Every structure is written in C-alpha cells, then in structure tokens.
Structure 1
Amino acid sequence: MKLGKLQSIDFERLLQDFKGLDPNDPGAWPLAPRIAVFVALLAAVLALAWWFDWRDQVSLLDQRVAEEAQLREDWRNKKAQAVNLDAYKLQLEEIDRQFGALLKQLPNRAEMDSLLSDINQAGVGRGLQFDLFKPGVDVVKDFYAEMPIDVRIVGAYNDLGAFAEDVARMPRIVTLDNVAIEAQKDGMLKLEAKAITYRYLDEEELAQKRAQEKAAKTKGGK
C-alpha cells in the first residue's frame, strides 16, 4: 500500500516546481517549494535559538537541579542532626568529661618539680641507687609537652621491678622507654632508661606556640 503511494508521487513534477523560482516573488511559488523553504527557515530559527539562548538555559537548568539536590541532601542531614541533637550533646559532655579526666593526669609547668621528686622518691623508697637522673629539653606537641628524663638506676631485680610498677601506678602519666638492663659484678642490676612524663601547656605557652606557627606560615608564604 505504501509502495503504491510512493509510486503515485510525481517526482518529475516536484522537480519542475523547484525550477525557475523567482526569489523576488516567493508568493507565486508552487506549494512544495514554499513548504520546503518554511521547514528550512523553521529549522534554522530553532538551531539559532538553541545556540544563542536555549543551550545556556539548559545548562543553567541542570545547575539548578544539581543545587536543589544538594540543598535537599543538606536539609536531610540537618534534620537528622536536629533529631539527634540531645544525643550529640550527651556525647559531647561525655567527651569533655573524659578529656578533663585525662588532662588531670598531666601536670602543669609549676607541678613538674613535684612530679620529678615523686619519681626520684619512688626509686629511693625501693632502696635503689640513682647514678643518673637528668631531665632533658621539653618536646612541645599540640597542647602538651613531653619531658624526657635519662635515668640510670642500680639495684636488685625485685626492687627494679617494684620501681617500674610504682611509676606505672602514679596519678600522673610517666612511661619508661629504651629500657636496658645490665648485670653488675656484685650481683646487682643496672637499669638505663628514658622516663617520659607529660605536662599540658599553659596559656602563655599556647599563645607563644600559636605565634610561632603563624610566623612560620607567613615566612613560608613568602
């Protein structure tokens, strides 16, 4: 059926309609050329509109759709946070409490002399002999400082073990690193180690640390 319709179209007549057209009088053209020109003009107008206007609008629409999706996600997250706000507050209070408890285990600068004396007394109380007890230079961290102490102690095995246990039980944090034990001729043991204790930085030290970091960043930026 369709083939019959195609065969019924007079292509030669169509070709004749496109010949000898007067560009100054398109109104006198046959129907087929007028339809063809109209379709071509419509396609050109649509292409120009897309290139100069619609393309940017489509891009802007895609951007707005993405922004809407992000806003919806942000809204859902904030809603979930608002629903769990009380739980978050409880967690924050617990974290503050735990941090405060840990901070109390760190002496301040004024309490360091007392802590060093406690470490020394822990050894003397066990009958140990200190051949070396030399505090080193503080190593400053984020909000605290490490104080290394080189120690050399001579005593019996059980007394050295009891001393290490006493140090571990101190209310302040003290660790023993780089431990080396050597037997002496008299049957005693010599223990060499680096005791490390910690203290938190006071406001003056924190301010000085921030100033140094700021100066370093400024110098690095140049």
Structure 2
Amino acid sequence: MANRTKIILVVVVVALVVVYYRFVWTPASRKLADRRDVYHKVSTELRKTEVVAANLERVQRRYEVLTERWEKAKVMLPKEKEVPSLLEGITTAGMKSGIKFDLFEPQATLPRGIYSEFPINVGVTGDFHDMAKFLSAIGNLPRIVNIADIQLKGTTKKMLDVDFKALTYIITEGGGGENVE
C-alpha cells in the first residue's frame, strides 16, 4: 500500500472516530448520565419511602392506642355537664355508703383553657367509716371528680358533718365555660 493510501485510510478512520464520538458516543453518554441521575433520585426517594413505610405500622399502632385513650378520656371529661348523671352517681355512692345528704349545690363553671371546672358544694352527715367509703366511691366514678376544701365537724361521738367541694371537668370547644341551667 502506498503512503498516500495509508494517510487517507488513517484520515478516514480518524474522521469516523470523531463522527462516532461526536454524534453517537457523546449523546449516548449524556443520556446515560441523565438516566443515572434519575436513577439516583428515584433510589433516594424509594429509600425515604421505605423508611416511612417501615414506620407506618408503628405509627398506626400508636394512633390506635392514642385514639383508645382519647375515647376513655372523653368519658371521664365529657363535653357537657351531665348534672343528672353526676348527681345520680354521687347520690348512689352516698346511699350505698350509708351517709345522709345535707347539701348538693352545683356552682357556675369556671373556664380553664380547653376545659372548664364544674364545682358542686356538698354537705353530708355520717360516721367516719361511711364517710371514707363515700369519698372512695366518688373517686371511683367514671367521671373525674376531685374533692377539695374538706371541712370536718364532729356532731356526736360517732357522727361527722362534712362539707366539701366536688370538682368535675368538662371539655370546652373554645375553652370558655358554661353556666348551670
């Protein structure tokens, strides 16, 4: 082969390599790089989603537990005063304990943020053990009832006059109180 033919052959091969590199290899490598970027982004999103999915079951169980607790709390902290059922619960506790009621006087509610406090002035007479049973029974009512401002007076050797404030609570929408009807 002549030198000239060799040079032309080399030039043609170099030209083909340049054309291949410019029009085939470079666009393909750009596409490959773009697809690698997309792959890495999708892989990262997939890992994040897998982490969320792994925690989803735990979060759902926690949600169920909290929902159950909230339902129990709603029984203990109703949206309304429910004076008749509260009166019935306290009266029944008193009768079962053997004490006598002298006073049962609901007061106006007092707003305390997301709940209101509903005080009831109560006066009862009975012996010490009956009084203890009665106060224990109030503490075991389905509603939250706290006893405050207890005043004990001995009337006879065995009998006590006890005045106290029974405090129960009501969930309020805007945190405002309600008045007793």
User: Is the alpha carbon distance of 1:196 and 1:81 closer, same or farther for their aligned partners in structure 2, counting shifts above 3 Å?
Assistant: farther
User: Is 1:93 matched with 2:67?
Assistant: no
Q: Deviations over 1:14-59 (max 9, x none)?
A: xxxxxxxxxxxxxxxxxxxxxxxxxxxxxxxxxxxxxxxxxxxxxx
Of structures 1 and 2, the larger Rg is shown by 1
In structure 1, the residue corresponding to 2:102 is in which secondary structure?
strand
Q: Percent identity?
A: 29
Give me the TM-score of the superposition, normalised by structure 2.
Answer: 0.60
User: Is 1:103 matched with 2:74?
Assistant: yes
Give me the TM-score of the superposition, normalised by structure 1.
Answer: 0.50
Q: Deviations over 1:142-198 (max 9, x none)?
A: 433221111121111111011012111212221212222221135311112111112
Whose helix fraction is larger, Structure 1's or Structure 2's?
1
Specify every segment of 5 or more residues in structure 2 that has no aligned partner in the other structure, as ranges: 1-44, 177-181
Q: Counterpart of 2:83? A: 112
Q: Compute the RMSD of aligned alpha carbons.
A: 2.6
User: Is the alpha carbon distance of 1:141 and 1:180 closer, same or farther for their aligned partners in structure 2, counting shifts above 3 Å?
Assistant: same
Cα distance in structure 2, aligned partners of 1:207 and 1:197: 18
User: Is 1:151 matched with 2:122?
Assistant: yes
How many correspondences in the alignment? Answer: 129
Whose strand fraction is larger, Structure 1's or Structure 2's?
2
Specify every segment of 5 or more residues in structure 1 that has no aligned partner in the other structure, as ranges: 1-74, 210-222
Cα distance in structure 1, aligned partners of 2:118 and 2:134: 19
Whether the aligned pair in 2 keeps the contact of 1:106 and 1:200 (CA below 8 Å) is yes
In structure 2, the residue corresponding to 1:148 is in which secondary structure?
strand
User: Is 1:140 matched with 2:111?
Assistant: yes
In structure 2, the residue corresponding to 1:109 is in which secondary structure?
coil
Q: Which amino acid aligns with 1:177?
A: A
Whether the aligned pair in 2 keeps the contact of 1:144 and 1:199 (CA below 8 Å) is yes
